[in-house]
Amino acid sequence: MKILFVRHGESVDDLTNQYGGWADFPLTPKGYLQLEKTVNKISNLKIKFDIVLTSPLQRAVESGRIIANLLSIPQKNYLYLKEKNGYGLLSGMNKEKAQKEYPELFKAELEGGYVLGSETKKNFLERVKTAVSKIQKMNYNNVISVTHGGFMTQLFNEILKKKYIKAYDGGFILLKSKDNGNFDIELVDGIDYEDE
């Protein structure tokens, strides 16, 4: 099985200085164009993908729809692919407003601490590992999974044992699943990382 993990395109929160996480923002017009370019690159791989699984958050669903429509394959929401709920109560809020009205939550997020209502790093990592394992066991030959930057971070750092730096909008990694549950990296496009 080959699994192509794709980061969604640019979303509205990227432009409005709002916390993302589980807040549900749509793609921007630029995000749509980014995904169309990504689909062209995916088409050039000459791999027959069976399905597009997407995080149920709007920016990923819209990105997945672009891919599914242009490749003429089905799309299905897959809860495990959601972004980390790292912002908790701050999700969707403008950052300047949060700093003024909820300085204790703003400070906790800024310093990498726990924000009320958020998902812990341990729980998020467990979810990412579960997602990857469940996808590997699905009855498909090749799968496209549309997800988020936080998910990609855990995929690289904890599963692939690579030092994740950044995934650009529409960036992707193509993995070949091995019998032992591990992966071979076949192609990376639009993602910066280093070998550890």
Residue 186, both tokens: 């076949």
Sheet holding 142-147, edge to edge: 75-77, 51-54, 142-147, 2-7, 162-177, 183-195
Of the candidates 8, 10, 62, 148, the residue annotated as catalytic is: 8
The residue with tokens 């070998």 is 195
Provide CB contacts within 8 A for 41, sequence distance 6+.
172, 189
Q: How do beta strands 2-7 and 162-177 pair?
A: antiparallel
* Active-site hit among 10, 83, 109, 119: 83
Catalytic residue at 83?
yes
Secondary structure element (H or E) that encloses residue 122, with its range: helix 121-136
Closest alpha carbon to 185 in 175, 193, 195: 175
Ranges of H-type helices in 47-102: 58-71, 95-101
Q: What gap in Å lies between CA 187 and CA 7, rounded to an integer?
A: 14
Q: Which residues are tagged catalytic?
A: 8, 83
